Amino acid sequence: MSFQFTVSPDFTPDHLSGWYIFNTWLQKQTGLAIHLEMYNDFHSQRSAIQANHVDLIYANPFDAAMLVRERGFLPLVKAEGASDEALIVVNAANPVIDVAELQSGTRVAFTEDPDVRLMGMIMLEPADLDNGNIVPISADNYVLVAKQLLKNQADVGIFLAEAYDDLSAMIKSQLKVLVRSQISVIHHALMIGPKLQDQREDIQNLLMSMSADEKGQGVLKNLGFSSWQIVDDEEMEFMIDLMDTLNT
Amino acid sequence: MIADMKVEDIVGDYQEVSLQLYGSITRKILYTQIETSYPDGKLIVSTTDPAGIITHVNRSFVEMSGYREDELLGAPHSILRHPDMPPVAFKDLWDTVQRGEKWQGFVKNLRKDGGFYWVKATVIPNVRAGKVVGFTSVRRKPSRTKVDECSKLYPTLF
Ligand SMILES: Cc1cc2nc3c(=O)[nH]c(=O)nc-3n(C[C@H](O)[C@H](O)[C@H](O)COP(=O)(O)O)c2cc1C
């Protein structure tokens, strides 16, 4: 029997090889045949989940409710100390200093990352902006969101905080952050599907001991963090409830 | 239990009123006209048991309410009840979440120091293994337009 592993399409391109290395490590440690399948976008990944093709997923928080409540997934771990935060950014030359000053018809650039977009839209609500009165501009990645702002083709950009922080100093010097979210309880998580659930504890133990050996440390480094942290069922349920309140 | 508000906690000129809370308890409320604006980018989160007793608060909740965490845990959520909020709003909140649905509305909350802050609140039932084990409220920053609308509307709902 072989299992399919997939990663939320919003992973940082720098970490693509890291996920393949992680998958090789996981197969060796568990003795399971696990195939890593990378989908190009959330839409095709969700279709694969609906078709029960996915057994293990590094999931975007936006998809957690569907995975747990409709597909019987359970949480394993998250990157230690990590949370997804969003930023509202404008061109540095824009006189706006408070989100509340933005007007209906504002051109808002974002990527398809569903959790970041949701958090970003919530931070635009103080200006009475919503999906019905903004001009949406979708971009393939955050560098392109920044370019839209620099070329004045968008008024506001919604960024994943990490992605914004990784932009070059040159680009950042031409931009201005209006708001940075401080939510701290919304995060990606590695989750396990029904077919693998009898291995949940074993896999969790393996993942938790990764940071204790040199080989495991190297694998984690390629993913961009230094250790995993257990996500228990209640933490996941709480995050799902929270996303549910935001999704209205 | 909810204690009366204490004069020594209040900042600024205040008015006094008595509120019937929780069906029977009477609480002496001291309140001022001083508004604390909602912090950008933050969510104020709390969870209650099925009866509305607070079981969890996040840091933003503590900061905005002015109470210590240990004063909030175990207290009825009406510890934040502001006299300008019409009772029908909370009746609608409870009726909605007890039907298992999501409630959303704009709420003027009372701080420990007598001041107030407006929030846009969403309350949902926490369903675990098919049972409602409590309720969670997540508040975000409301727009000024919405707050102005509610400030005009709410006095007409008493
Ligand atoms: C999860 C949850 C959060 C609540 N948050 C508030 C709040 O922030 N402010 C408030 O006045 N009432 C809040 N309520 C409603 C109170 O329980 C209460 O109904 C209200 O303060 C009116 O008081 P009374 O029911 O004792 O008359 C909340 C209820 C729930 C279930």
Q: What is the pLDDT of residues A104-162, one digit of tens each?
A: 999 999 999 999 999 999 999 999 999 999 999 999 999 999 999 999 999 999 999 99
Judged by CB atoms within 8 Å, which residues 154-183 of A form the interface with B? 178-183
Q: What is the mean pLDDT of residues B108-132?
A: 97
Residue A77 shares a structural domain with residue A192? yes
Average model confidence (pLDDT) across chain A: 96
Count CA atoms within 13 Å of residue A186 on its CB side: 30
Judged by CB atoms within 8 Å, which residues 100-129 of A form the interface with B? 100, 122-123, 125-128
Q: What is the mean pLDDT of residues B97-122?
A: 98
Residue A193 shares a structural domain with residue A72? yes
Q: What is the mean pLDDT of residues A48-59?
A: 98
Minimum distance, in Å, between the CA of residue A181 and any CA atom of chain B: 4
Q: What is the ipTM of this complex?
A: 0.94
Distance CA A59, CA A82 (A): 14
* Confidence label for B24 from pLDDT (cuts 50, 70 and 90): confident
Residue A190 shares a structural domain with residue A152? no
Determine which residue's CA is closest to atom 22 belonging to ligand 1: B78
Pocket test for ligand 1, best of B21, B57, B64, B81 (most atoms within 8 A of CB): B81
User: What type of residue is B59?
Assistant: R
Domain final residue, candidates A159, A180, A201: A180
Q: State whether B102 and A245 contact (CB < 8 Å).
A: yes
Q: Does B20 have pLDDT greater than 90?
A: no
Q: What is the mean pLDDT of residues A219-240?
A: 97
The C-alpha angle with vertex A213 and arms to A208 and A218, in degrees rounded to 5, equals: 95
Best mean pLDDT range from A13-17, B1-5, B24-28, B39-43? B39-43
* Confidence label for B102 from pLDDT (cuts 50, 70 and 90): very high
Selected for mutation to probe chain A from B40, B42, B57 (highest A CB count within 10 Å) is B40
Residue A95 shares a structural domain with residue A174? yes
As a whole-number percent, the residues of chain A with pLDDT over 70 amount to: 100
Name the CA radius of gyration of chain A, rounded. Answer: 19
User: What was the pLDDT predicted at A11?
Assistant: 84
User: Which residues in chain B have Cβ-Cβ distances shorter than 8 Å to A100?
Assistant: 143-144
Treating both helix axes as pointing N-terminal to C-terminal, what angle do A114-124 and A233-246 enclose, rounded to 10 degrees?
50
User: What type of residue is A85?
Assistant: E
Domain final residue, candidates A164, A180, A196: A180
Report pLDDT digits (tens) over A3-15: 999 999 998 888 9
* Confidence label for A172 from pLDDT (cuts 50, 70 and 90): very high
Cα dihedral A49/A236/A3/A12 (nearest 10): 80
From ligand 1's centre to the CA of B90, what distance in Å? 6
User: What was the pLDDT predicted at B1?
Assistant: 62
User: What type of residue is A167?
Assistant: L
Domains and CATH numbers, chain B: 7-157 (3.30.450.20)
Distance CA B155, CA B139 (A): 22
Option in B40, B136, B142 nearest A99 (CB): B40
* Confidence label for B25 from pLDDT (cuts 50, 70 and 90): confident
As a whole-number percent, the residues of chain A with pLDDT over 90 amount to: 97
Q: Indicate the number of domains in chain A.
A: 2
Q: Does B103 have pLDDT greater than 90?
A: yes
Q: Which atom of ligand 1 is nearest to the CA of B123?
A: 1
Residue A75 shares a structural domain with residue A15? yes
From ligand 1's centre to the CA of A183, what distance in Å? 22
Residue A102 shares a structural domain with residue A67? no
Residue A69 shares a structural domain with residue A94? no
Selected for mutation to probe chain A from B118, B143, B147 (highest A CB count within 10 Å) is B143
User: What was the pLDDT predicted at A204?
Assistant: 98
Residue A97 shares a structural domain with residue A166? yes
* Confidence label for A62 from pLDDT (cuts 50, 70 and 90): very high
Q: What is the mean pLDDT of residues A178-202?
A: 97
The verdict on pTM exceeding 0.90 is yes
User: What was the pLDDT predicted at A248?
Assistant: 84
Distant-in-sequence, close-in-space partners of A47: CB < 8 Å, separation ≥ 6? none
Q: What is the mean pLDDT of residues A41-69?
A: 96
What are the angstrom distances between the C-alpha of A246 and each of A26, A115, A163? 34, 10, 22
CATH of the domain at A59: 3.40.190.10
Domain final residue, candidates A156, A180, A204: A180
From ligand 1's centre to the CA of A44, what distance in Å? 42
Distance CA A91, CA A245 (A): 31
Which among B142, B86, B153 has a CA at the least distance from the CA of B119? B142
Distance CA A139, CA A146 (A): 10
Q: Which domain holds residue A229?
A: 2-82+185-246
Pocket test for ligand 1, best of B22, B64, B77 (most atoms within 8 A of CB): B77
Residue A95 shares a structural domain with residue A166? yes
Residue A200 shares a structural domain with residue A151? no
Q: Which atom of ligand 1 is nearest to the CA of B97?
A: 31
Which residues does ligand 1 sit against, CB inside 6 Å? Answer: B 21-22, 46, 48, 52, 77-78, 80-81, 85, 90, 93, 107, 109, 123, 135-137
User: Which residues in chain A have Cβ-Cβ distances shorter than 8 Å to B145?
Assistant: 128
Q: State whether A125 and B126 contact (CB < 8 Å).
A: no
Residue A90 shares a structural domain with residue A171? yes
User: What was the pLDDT predicted at B21?
Assistant: 81
Residue A100 shares a structural domain with residue A76? no
User: What was the pLDDT predicted at A14?
Assistant: 83
The C-alpha angle with vertex A173 and arms to A170 and A178, in degrees rounded to 5, equals: 140
As a whole-number percent, the residues of chain B with pLDDT over 90 amount to: 92
